[in-house]
Amino acid sequence: MIEPLPSGSVVGILGGGQLGRMLAVAASRLGYRAHIFEPGAAPAADVAHAWTRAGYDDADALRTFAASCDVVTYEFENIPAASLDLLAGAAPFHPNRRALEVSQDRLTEKDFLAGLGLAVAPYAAIEGPGDLEAALAETGVPAILKTRRFGYDGKGQARVTAREEAEAALATLEGAPAIAEGFVTFSKEISVIAARGLDGSVAAYDPGENVHVDGILSTTTVPAAIPAALRTDAVLLASRILTALDYVGVMGVELFVTRTGLVVNEIAPRVHNSGHWTQAGCAVDQFEQHVRAITGWPLGDGTRHADVVMENLIGADVARAPALAAERGVQVHLYGKAETRPGRKMGHVNRVTGPAR
Ligand code: ATP
Ligand code: MG
């Protein structure tokens, strides 16, 4: 039995957005203090014990931050390698560096997943226009060109529906190293949120069904309307990924449901927007689960006790929050962001639609 970190220990979180905010709240419920590292605006800092407001290139700030923490984690995956070097050794760091590096780069990520024998979209690397011909021969058309790094909410992507559009599509990525992915014909998108503890135990939540609007997650519904066998496949596949990475913490695994089975779209080495439903559907939600995993607690009970629809409040949607709050079974989460902008995630609601089916 591993001893959990004692009360009052400091959980360092790289990144200060809404995921960091909900992690900080979960950490405080377990008796910990959260220390946020974030150069920009930090909704997470409002609910944290400390905030280091500095850039990822500020070596002194990173070292002082790490020295103040008993464990360090992160809420976004684009942490530069040089910053990881500076953090190394100061405090335990979870999920580990390999998990971060694998998921930071779509090419590395695809190679890793394919190497595990998991189905992924056909893909090929593109360094420049000269690679397009061969890449599209590999993936077929239609295809999606994606920057290898820094993509989120569908940003850094361009669709190619006909060969002659390819050069123009690639130009929109402004010379960033990219990959081409064959377009996967899917009936649904689902995701699995899974966790692995310091002792190597693995737990997974029921898969949720995701609907995107304009490239941004709009709703997650549990249970996903898929056959039981696919639910099992999804959970087993997630567990293989975590174990292969010697992972500690919560991970989001995005999947396409196709005629031939599950195809892995991407993995996120952190708590995930499509796991917010767990706040209303499980005794232990994904945020507490992550904090438990990295601080040495036993993983919590993630059995789903309710059917839930999570809806993101994006941009002006946030004005609907008071009306939604008046509805039966609705839980409102707002992120405390000062400015409402189109496409910006301002909050979400979890609507309990009934007891677990
Ligand atoms: P997010 O931040 O929402 O996870 P992202 O920017 O990381 O998004 P992806 O998850 O790679 O990008 O793609 C966004 C969406 O585009 C997917 O959820 C899916 O709907 C669609 N998509 C991506 N790749 C493919 C593909 N190869 N075939 C079909 N659809 C795809
Ligand atoms: Mg995605």
Identify the segments of the chain with pLDDT beneath 70.
none
CATH architecture of the domain 122-182 equals 2-Layer Sandwich (3.30)
Dist. CA 52 → ligand 1 center (Å)? 33
Contact of 15 with 37, CB cutoff 8 Å: yes
pLDDT of residue 173: 95
Q: Which atom of ligand 1 is nearest to the CA of 254?
A: 10
Question: According to DSSP H, which parts of the chain are helical?
Answer: 18-29, 59-67, 81-87, 97-104, 106-115, 132-139, 166-171, 228-244, 278-281, 286-295, 321-325
Dist. CA 153 → ligand 1 center (Å)? 8
Query: What global pTM score does this model have?
Result: 0.97
Relative to the alpha carbon of 272, which ligand is closest? Answer: 1
CATH of domain 10-93: 3.40.50.20
Helices vs strands, H then E, count in the chain: 11, 17
Relative to the alpha carbon of 106, which ligand is closest? Answer: 1
Contact of 149 with 78, CB cutoff 8 Å: yes
Q: Where in the chain is the domain with CATH 3.40.50.20?
A: 10-93
Contact of 350 with 331, CB cutoff 8 Å: yes
The CA-atom distances, in angstroms, between 237 and each of 95, 241, 244, 264 are 18, 6, 11, 9
Contact of 110 with 179, CB cutoff 8 Å: yes
Relative to the alpha carbon of 256, which ligand is closest? Answer: 1
Output DSSP code: residue 68.
Answer: T
* CB-based contacts of 45-52 (< 8 A; 24+ apart in sequence): 45/16, 46/21, 46/336, 47/21, 48/13, 48/20, 48/24, 49/10, 50/10, 51/16
Contact of 195 with 272, CB cutoff 8 Å: no
Output DSSP code: residue 9.
Answer: -
Q: Whose CA is nearest to atom 26 of ligand 1?
A: 183
Four-way CATH pick for 188-355: 3.30.70.141, 3.30.470.20, 3.40.50.720, 1.10.600.10: 3.30.470.20
Write the DSSP string, 109-177. Answer: HHHHHHHTT--B--EEEESSGGGHHHHHHHH-SSEEEEESSS--TTTTEEEESSGGGHHHHHHTTTT--
Dist. CA 90 → ligand 2 center (Å)? 32
Q: Which atom of ligand 1 is nearest to the CA of 184?
A: 28
- Substitution candidate for ligand 1 out of 149, 259, 264, 265 with most atoms within 8 A of CB: 265
The span from the CA of 51 to the CA of 30, in Å, is: 19
pLDDT tens, residue by residue, 230-260: 999 999 999 999 999 999 999 999 999 999 9
Ligand 1 pocket, Cβ-based, cut-off 6 angstroms: 121, 144, 151-155, 181, 183-184, 189, 212, 215, 217, 254, 265-266
What is the helix (H) or strand (E) element at residue 219, kind and residue range? Answer: strand 216-222
Dist. CA 103 → ligand 1 center (Å)? 14
The CA-atom distances, in angstroms, between 318 and each of 59, 132, 233, 336 are 37, 42, 36, 11
Q: Where in the chain is the domain with CATH 3.30.1490.20?
A: 122-182
Q: Where in the chain is the domain with CATH 3.30.470.20?
A: 188-355
Dist. CA 266 → ligand 2 center (Å)? 6
- C-alpha neighbours within 13 Å on the C-beta side of residue 343: 7
